[in-house]
Amino acid sequence: MTWHKDDEPKLWELIPPWVFALGRLSLRLAVIGTICGVLILVTYGVLAANYEMKRVVQMPERTLLLDRDGEEMAAIHGDRRRIIPSDQIPQSLLDALTTREDKDFYRHRGVHFRGILRAALRNLKDRGFTQGASTITMQLARNTYEMRAHSFHRKFLEAAISFRIEVHYSKEEIITAYLNRIYFGAGAYGIEQAAQSYFGKKAAELSVAEGALLVGIIRAPHDFSPHNDLEAALRERDQVLKQMARDGKLSDEERDRALATPVVLQETQSIQTDAIRCTRRHLNELLEKNDFVTGGLTATSTIDRNLQQYAREEMNRLLAPYPNLQGALVAIESSSGAIRAVITARDPNSSQFNRAFDTRRQLGPVFQPFLYAFSAERGRLPIPGHPLQTARQLSSSDIQRLAKRLGLTGPFAEGDDLARGFLQATTLEVATALSVLSNKGKKANTYLITELLDSDNKSLFQQILHYNLVLDAYAATTPVELTSQETWSAINQPGNDLWTLHTSPHLAIALWIGFDNPAKIPDQNQLTKGTTHLVNGLVQLARQKAEQQKN
């Protein structure tokens, strides 16, 4: 058989058919992938175009909160933000931020593709959204437009917006806007407020160590706050400093000097914290009810700065010897319903829970003045020092009905247990009920905001005094006339709750002392004397204020 050159197999004939099939499939997938990629880019480009770029550098307007005399108590909403220009930001702070959050910030165009790929692979492995790859620009986009959901859609949109931000603004403008906007914990938004809140200085005055500590807070503002966990804050600070040295942003000597720098924190100011928190709660209710926009407002509160400061300082002194013992206080101007002072916790900076408005505790013997008023209301004879005999002249349902008129909502016990004060109430409810006794049976709506102005000083809201007659005037004045006293202090039968109450034309005051997990109160006589002293001091200050206003 003769072999011819034409019989030599072609190279392509030697390739197995499955290779061609795989190639065709790969080509098709590449085409489909390209089409999908283009569609994604177009879709998210269109979505990103709907976001106004000017919002990136426009910070929310602050709402000013004033006390009853027009002095500033706080700046709320607008997030207490104090804006600073780029030339007031130390270079060491910028170096710490880029080292920690985005090493390639000055090289990328808003999105770090390698970081996104790495995070995507990890998320696929974890079968969930466990890691992000946000650049500083992407974080700025997220905080500016409040995109909080953890999803791939949000990440794509965040990336598209970041591209637009990078086109509209310089790197200097982006990083300045970022530092002015983000949250640093302790109620501080923006680097200037953070520097003042934590260190009592301007951002421009921050040391290398202080700047690194603030940068370390960013990822977990509550957990890494030095006020909440100093050890964690120092750990994060040290990581930032060591990485700065590895990246050539600090010399070894500068790193070691910063690592050895002790943290000197600004002492937390808690004098107005309770009042600010409660007033903000009332303001938020007003804004939601009336659909007012937040920011740029001026709210005048009912809080009396002198009464509030005295109440806070005396409560601190009273509770200092007793770890974990809590306290709450509400002082109401009886004639108007205006809340003049409020204490929500032993330390409102470490506890967000409002014990004055939200904790219900048993009244015990201090329920007696109300029983005297109820019996007089029903034409019965109050018997001083004998609450059981006084209460037995009325039915439990009648006592409960009259108590609810005054603002005490229960839950209530029945029969003799009710007469012994087996009912629960908040400190605010008790103070409100006391104000009825000193206001001749008229119950005023309690409030914390007297007026609300918009950014043009136009009035949006003014508190209108409103009363309901819930007791006969004679019945309301009976407890004071019968006992010849305006202040009552007592501890309930289990010994878990100490109440001190006061009712007079100037103030109605309810003060509670106890543990969050009910337990016997120590040094009961000493604490009773202390609470009485505190209440009497508030009343004296209120009288002085009233005299000054007359003159």
Output the CA torsion sign for 306, 308, 310, 312. negative
Please enumerate in sequence order all residues whose Cβ is within 8 A of that of 461, keeping only pairs 6 or more positions apart, or say none: 286, 290, 292, 449, 451, 452
Determine the straight-line distance between the first and last CA of the chain, rounded to whole angstroms: 134
What is the CATH architecture of 85-259?
Orthogonal Bundle (1.10)
Q: What amino acid occupies position 418?
A: L
pLDDT score at 40? 63
d(CA 490, CA 326): 16
pLDDT score at 129? 43
b/e per residue 415-443 (b: at least 16 CB within 10 A): eeebbbbbbbbbbbbbbbbbbbbbbbbbb
The answer to whether 299 and 451 are in contact (CB under 8 A) is yes
d(CA 549, CA 551): 5
d(CA 71, CA 1): 114
d(CA 384, CA 368): 9
pLDDT score at 239? 96
How many Cβ atoms from other residues are within 10 Å of residue 449's Cβ?
Answer: 21
The answer to whether 243 and 99 are in contact (CB under 8 A) is yes
pLDDT score at 1? 46
State phi, psi for 452 to the nearest 5 degrees: -135, 125
Digits of tens for pLDDT over the chain (551 positions)? 454 555 555 555 666 776 656 666 666 766 666 666 556 666 766 676 777 888 888 876 678 889 999 988 877 755 556 778 999 999 999 999 999 999 999 998 888 776 656 655 555 555 544 445 689 999 999 888 877 666 777 778 888 888 899 999 999 999 999 999 888 887 778 898 899 889 989 999 999 999 999 999 999 988 898 988 999 999 999 999 999 999 999 999 999 999 999 999 876 555 788 999 899 889 888 887 876 766 678 999 999 999 999 999 999 999 999 999 999 999 999 999 999 999 999 998 788 899 999 999 999 999 999 999 999 999 999 998 899 999 999 999 999 999 999 999 999 999 999 999 999 999 999 999 999 999 999 999 999 999 999 878 899 999 999 899 999 999 999 999 999 999 999 999 889 999 999 999 989 999 999 999 999 999 999 999 999 999 999 999 999 998 888 87
Output the CA torsion sign for 80, 83, 88, 90. positive
236: tokens are 């994060």
CATH number corresponding to 303-448+464-550: 3.40.710.10
pLDDT score at 97? 96
d(CA 25, CA 18): 10
Provide the whole-model pTM.
0.67
